[in-house]
Amino acid sequence: MRPNGMYQTAPAGGREPKGDTLTSRLRSAVQQPRRIVARAMMAAIMIAGGALVGATTVSSPALAVAGGTSAVPPLVCTGDGTTGHRVQVVYLYENVNSFSLREAAIRQAIWEAQTNINDSARRDGGQRYLNFVHDSNCQAVITTIQTPTGTTDGNHPWINASNLTANDRIYLVLGEETTIDCGVSWNDHVEWDSTPSTSNLHNSRTSWIVYGDNCVDGHTVTHELAHSLGGVNLNAPNSDGNWHCNDGYETLCQPASGAVCPDPISIRYLDCNGDDYFSLNPTGIWLPTHFNAALHNLWLTAGSSVTPLTAPFPLPPQYLRAVDIQSTSIAFSFRPPGDTAGITAYEILRNGVLVATIPANEGRTTARVSGLPTNTTAYYNVRSRVTVGGTSRYSVASQGLAATTITGG
């Protein structure tokens, strides 16, 4: 146990507004800006009043229903999955364990976050993979913790009770049965250290991120992790004075609009213009001489050099599922990516050929593909499309799904 008050709230992160629902976001071709809500001034974390009820670990997910659902891609493995600075994913509940209902959202969100961060480095011709605690199959190890009723709110007594205090971990927690308003992040006295080296306090202090039960997606997870990694210092040139930025579409700018990065698709990236907190080729008057999350973090593993990305592109939906199979048609559902701003449509491919288009502004996440041959197996994927001025950009395809029409008659 730690002394009471050791973990005073650092002026880190921000309490995020309640996220729009998936449906309402899909109805808007351009995602509504998220409101800025006053940063949580959380009191010192108290020592737990109740005992830890129990903790179990889930490492090998049983996500794929044979022939029915394609799982999210695995993470990119870094090292042995345990050693060094890593994000530990936690599912926390008081009375009702609904992990099976949340697992898809969690795994899709963390895959998107690792991809968003790496693609932010790919803009500069490099790669940076966020380290997660993962198993040998590159699946995040998700620790499930049950805490006594009433302990998941307020001063988060479960943190000490559950020993979520290692200084080489960012604890990414989905809290069931809480009143958390979307997401909140804080750390152990990093104090917005801007020292431009790996000795920066961002590398030696614990961070915590906690979400309410319905607010985990690729956007919210990327956003809070970007806070934990170091964005946006109040002295950075495009700080909004509240740990966010104001120069364009990127994960930490609120509202996400501005003249510098006007393409809504770039909302999934970190650091519009590479001059505030994350760039392999930092520019401007601040970032080349201050803490740069892309260069000075121990939470990231460098990958090989790549051709720099040019135009932003979206992420695909995941969890393509055959929800109804008939002799000449199959109905599919899917989970859209966390960042839907700027996406024009979702497309279902059969053996690589486009067979269904779902306009994003219809808000549908289902489609029926008809006119199929009976008793025939084909390979299906779903992807996102952005079309501006007659020119289209595409996401990569989702994980594939083999599905077989039934025998007619």
Nearer to Zn ion, 132 or 186 (CB): 186
Q: Which residue is nearest to Zn ion (CB)?
A: 14
Task: Write the binding mask 291 to 310 for Zn ion: x where contact by CB under 5 A, - elsewhere.
Answer: --------------------
Q: Which residues pair with 130 in a beta bridge?
A: 300
Nearer to Zn ion, 37 or 47 (CB): 37
Nearer to Zn ion, 61 or 212 (CB): 212
Q: How far is the CB of 93 from Zn ion (least distance, A)?
A: 25
Which class for 240: exposed (0-12), middle (13-18), buried (19 or more C-beta within 10 A)? middle
Q: What separation in angstroms does the CA of 186 have from each of 33, 93, 293, 376, 404?
A: 22, 20, 16, 52, 48
Q: How far is the CB of 182 from Zn ion (least distance, A)?
A: 10
Largest CA distance in the chain: 72
Residues 7-26 touching Zn ion, rule: CB under 5 A, are 14
Q: How far is the CB of 326 from Zn ion (least distance, A)?
A: 46
Q: How far apart are CA 219 and CA 338, in angstroms?
A: 5
Q: How far apart are CA 220 and CA 339, in angstroms?
A: 9
Nearer to Zn ion, 14 or 218 (CB): 14
Retrieve residue 384's tokens.
């996102």
Nearer to Zn ion, 14 or 19 (CB): 14
Q: How far is the CB of 14 from Zn ion (least distance, A)?
A: 4
Residues 270-289 touching Zn ion, rule: CB under 5 A, are none
Q: How far is the CB of 267 from Zn ion (least distance, A)?
A: 13
Nearer to Zn ion, 156 or 335 (CB): 156
Q: How far is the CB of 368 from Zn ion (least distance, A)?
A: 39
Retrieve residue 216's tokens.
């985990």
Look at residues 234, 228, 258, 236 and name the one whose alpha carbon lies nearest to residue 246. Answer: 258
Count the residues of the shown chain that bind Zn ion, applying the rule CB under 5 A. 1
**SS3 of residue 368 by DSSP:** strand
Burial 109-148 (b: 16+ CB within 10 A, else e): bbbbbbbbbbbbbbbbebbbbbbbbbbeeebbbbbbbbbb
Q: How far is the CB of 120 from Zn ion (least distance, A)?
A: 16
Nearer to Zn ion, 184 or 330 (CB): 184
312 is a site residue for Zn ion (CB under 5 A): no
Q: How far apart are CA 45 and CA 138, in angstroms?
A: 33
Q: How far is the CB of 230 from Zn ion (least distance, A)?
A: 13
Write the DSSP symbol of residue 209: E
CA 157 to chain centre: 25
Handedness of CA 373, 374, 379, 384 (dihedral sign): positive
Q: How far is the CB of 250 from Zn ion (least distance, A)?
A: 12
* Residue-wise DSSP of 69-135: BPPPPPPPP-TTSSSSSEEEEEEEESS---HHHHHHHHHHHHHHHHHHHHHHHHTTT-EEEEPB-B-
Nearer to Zn ion, 72 or 225 (CB): 225
Nearer to Zn ion, 38 or 62 (CB): 38
Look at residues 10, 14, 17 and name the one whose alpha carbon lies nearest to residue 39. Answer: 14
Q: Which residues bind Zn ion (CB under 5 A)?
A: 14
